[in-house]
């Protein structure tokens, strides 16, 4: 996040609270081991002492290793037992790694202090998966650098922008060989939008035929190009959408993706 990368997005809300020094109360849903989750649920649902003893007997070894093994004298003891198991499985078991993570976050320009101070603002970055790109998101991302209004170049650019918007919709709907993620990667080097945004703001320019050679079109001018250092995408100029789409697909899909694909 600090250096423009993607957000983690894989923490449970409980573990995020642990990072923020909050008091946590793990629930059975926080247990990723489905077999263990079922056994804990069986303890929680026990309606008689006999059911409770049967439920605990099958995980006696686990309870001993977790430090939760105790004499069950009444049915109400199951609630404390479940709480102890959840605290061990979800929090105490990973206490060491979480502390190392906290120490690491403290070295990153005060990131940990910012997370603690603005917990709710950071929660979606830590606890929610990256939202998929949409055509509208990608379109709004770019600043289009037009030529002077009323010029011949501006007319060509208007056509190219219309094709560009159609191309983004086709990419979103899977109607072309390219994906929105590949377009973003081609332009910026990023496969997802970083939480801190892209600097400089991505821009669109156009591959006009040089005035010194009217009517000619080099291979460079048929296909899109980009400069990822300044997040600039340069669009080719075509008279029909079919050629624009075909050449965009070829130009973007035949790049190496910075070794990330």
pTM: 0.72
Please name the fold of domain 135-259. Hect, E3 ligase catalytic fold (3.30.2410)
pLDDT of residue 211: 60
> Mean pLDDT per 10-residue run, the chain (261 residues)?
83 90 87 93 93 90 89 89 93 91 86 91 89 92 94 93 96 93 92 88 90 53 92 94 95 76 54
Identify whether the C-beta of residue 102 lies closer than 8 Å to the C-beta of residue 124. no
Cα dihedral sign, 141-142-143-146: negative
Residue with tokens 């600039």: 232
Domain residue spans of the chain: 13-127, 135-259
Identify whether the C-beta of residue 28 lies closer than 8 Å to the C-beta of residue 40. yes
Label residue 192 left, alpha or beta by phi (over 0 means left) and psi (-120 to 50 means alpha): beta
**Helix, strand, coil % over all residues of the chain, rounded to 5:** 55, 5, 40
Identify whether the C-beta of residue 207 lies closer than 8 Å to the C-beta of residue 237. yes
């Amino acid at each position: 996040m600090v250096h423009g990368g993607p957000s983690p997005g894989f923490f449970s809300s409980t573990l995020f609270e642990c990072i923020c020094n909050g008091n946590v109360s793990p629930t059975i849903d926080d247990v990723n081991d489905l077999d263990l989750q079922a056994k804990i649920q069986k303890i929680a649902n026990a309606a008689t002492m006999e059911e409770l003893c049967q439920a605990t007997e099958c995980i006696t070894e686990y309870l001993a290793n977790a430090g939760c093994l105790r004499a069950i004298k009444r049915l109400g003891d199951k609630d404390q037992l479940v709480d102890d198991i959840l605290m061990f499985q979800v929090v105490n078991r990973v206490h060491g790694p979480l502390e190392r993570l906290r120490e690491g976050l403290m070295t990153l320009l005060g990131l940990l202090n910012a997370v603690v101070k603005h917990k709710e603002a950071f929660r979606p970055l830590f606890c929610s998966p990256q939202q998929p790109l949409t055509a509208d998101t990608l379109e709004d991302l770019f600043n289009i650098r037009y030529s002077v209004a009323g010029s011949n170049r501006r007319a060509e650019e208007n056509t190219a922008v219309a094709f560009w918007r159609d191309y983004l919709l086709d990419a979103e709907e899977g109607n072309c060989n390219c994906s929105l993620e590949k377009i973003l990667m081609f332009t910026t080097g990023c496969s997802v939008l970083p939480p801190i945004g892209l600097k400089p703001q991505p821009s669109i320019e156009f591959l006009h035929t040089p005035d010194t050679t009217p009517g000619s079109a080099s291979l460079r001018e048929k296909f899109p190009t980009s400069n990822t250092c300044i997040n600039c995408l340069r669009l080719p100029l075509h008279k029909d959408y079919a050629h624009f789409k075909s050449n965009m697909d070829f130009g973007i899909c035949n790049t190496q993706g910075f070794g990330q694909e």
